[in-house]
């Protein structure tokens, strides 16, 4: 297993991919686009990649193309990662899932309904449209939710029956351990909770799998119990940015839901789902300062909310596609404090029921959670060895 610091740098700077067999998770969408799953020992991580042969075709290559990290596939599964031509890691690429080869009765390939993230997490965007997306005065400038739809790589609305069918196959054929349901924001005060409720109910009726649902905070807190009753085990309500300054600049439509509403919703949701099983995505690199991210995150930890801090990665086709990537040194400092704080609060990723934080593939934060504890154990072992020598 590589060090948490090296993993942070790889995820923050991305990898230039040499040779064939790129096999991206997907290009365009609502999750980790232009990423590839790689196994770093026991931890599978989603790493932003850039296919090297395309560099010459672009007058202005995107930021990951300037990364010091380069990947060279050695076989279908084995990959070597170099930093400035020095080998730093040997990793494995998870195999293509078997459920991808299946098609629904109405002719939709399973991979258009849900995709494999990491090595054992099934993820889907139930509604692949968003009320904010088509107006750049309201859309989130980092989001590409409708790009994969326009490219024919998914469908606009995955029905509860389709999701249940695919989830059952993914568990049976590929050993999937959890499922994440996110959604674009529709019109209405439920902000997607209604479609998530119907989806969760159908999935849980078909297969026993832990579920996380993700949406903006609904207007009515009663939705949290309704989601829980439908079979949702964990809830994500994603901020992305933690300061009003950045929210209004980068995500003007979503910023209409104030931070105060998010905080109240977190408290209400924790009362239903339990500490740790409510989480948020925070994209480091959008413009929030290190102090702002850490202060807000520690407040969330105290509330029982898991702040999943993730390096911002520019996505093609968005206004921020050529923006700089996150500073790995800043991420390392944030994780050094936040990881042990999560462990001390009792909401480390391994204790969660489901969701992005439990998966941990899109951020190195998970690998920092027990870092202080491991250091203390190493010191204790050294002291014991010294005592025996004396």
pLDDT score recorded for residue 205: 98
Question: Could you write out the DSSP letters of every residue in 6-57?
Answer: HHHHHHHH-EEEPSS----S-SSBSSSTTEEEEEETTEEEEEEEEEGGGGGG
pLDDT score recorded for residue 370: 84
Distances (CA, A) of 228 to 12, 163, 272, 352, 358: 34, 18, 7, 15, 18
> In a 10 Å sphere around its CB, with 0-12 CB exposed, 13-18 middle and 19+ buried, how is residue 291 labelled?
exposed
pLDDT score recorded for residue 162: 97
Query: In the chain, where are the structural domains located?
Result: 4-92, 98-374
Measured in whole angstroms, the distance separating CA 351 from the mean position of its chain's CA atoms is 17
pLDDT score recorded for residue 315: 86
SS3 131: coil
pLDDT score recorded for residue 34: 73
Contact predicate 125/182, CB 8 Å: yes
The answer to whether the predicted template modeling score (pTM) of the entire model surpasses 0.95 is no
Below-70 pLDDT ranges, the chain: 19-33, 51-62, 76, 372-390
pLDDT score recorded for residue 50: 80
Distances (CA, A) of 284 to 5, 12, 227, 276, 309: 16, 10, 29, 20, 7
- Residue-wise pLDDT for 134-158, tens only, equals 887 899 999 999 988 898 999 999 9
**Residue given tokens 């949701």 in the structure block:** 269
Distances (CA, A) of 141 to 43, 144, 240, 319: 30, 8, 11, 5
SS3 127: strand
Q: What span, in angstroms and rounded, lies between the C-alpha atoms of 260 and 222?
A: 18
pLDDT score recorded for residue 57: 42
CATH classification of 98-374 is 3.20.20.70, yes or no?
yes
pLDDT score recorded for residue 83: 96
């Amino acid at each position: 297993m590589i060090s948490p610091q090296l993993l942070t740098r790889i995820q923050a700077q991305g990898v230039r991919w040499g040779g064939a067999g790129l096999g991206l998770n997907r290009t365009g969408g609502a999750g980790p686009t232009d990423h590839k799953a790689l196994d770093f020992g026991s931890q599978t991580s989603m790493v932003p990649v850039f296919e090297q042969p395309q560099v010459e075709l672009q007058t202005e290559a995107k930021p990951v193309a300037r990364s010091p990290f380069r990947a060279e596939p050695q076989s279908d599964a084995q990959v070597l990662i170099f930093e400035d031509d020095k080998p730093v890691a040997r990793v494995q690429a998870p195999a293509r899932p078997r459920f991808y080869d299946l098609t629904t009765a109405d002719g939709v390939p399973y991979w258009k309904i849900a995709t494999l993230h990491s090595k054992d997490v099934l993820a889907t965007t139930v509604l692949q449209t968003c009320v904010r997306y088509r107006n750049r005065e309201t859309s989130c400038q980092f989001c590409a939710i409708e790009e994969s739809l326009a490219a024919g790589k998914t469908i606009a609305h995955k029905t509860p029956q389709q999701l249940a069918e695919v989830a059952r196959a993914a568990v049976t054929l590929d050993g999937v351990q959890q499922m994440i349901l996110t959604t674009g924001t529709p019109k209405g005060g439920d902000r997607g909770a209604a479609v998530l409720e119907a989806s969760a109910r159908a999935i849980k009726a078909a297969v026993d799998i832990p579920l996380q649902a993700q949406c903006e905070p609904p207007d009515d807190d009663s939705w949290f119990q309704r989601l829980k009753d439908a079979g949702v085990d964990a809830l994500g309500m994603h901020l992305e940015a933690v300061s009003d300054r950045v929210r209004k600049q980068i995500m003007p439509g979503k910023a209409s839901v104030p931070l105060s509403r998010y905080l109240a919703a977190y408290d209400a949701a924790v009362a239903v789902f339990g500490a740790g099983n409510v989480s948020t995505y925070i994209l480091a690199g959008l413009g929030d300062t290190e102090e702002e991210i850490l202060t807000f995150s520690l407040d969330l930890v105290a509330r029982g909310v898991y702040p999943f801090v993730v390096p911002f990665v520019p996505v093609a086709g968005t206004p921020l596609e050529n923006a700089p990537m996150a500073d790995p040194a800043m991420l390392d400092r944030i994780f050094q404090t936040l990881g042990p704080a999560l462990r001390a609060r009792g909401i480390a990723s391994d204790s969660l029921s489901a969701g992005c934080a439990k998966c941990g593939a899109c951020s190195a934060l998970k690998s920092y959670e027990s870092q202080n504890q491991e250091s203390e154990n190493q010191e204790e072992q050294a002291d014991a060895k010294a005592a025996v020598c004396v």
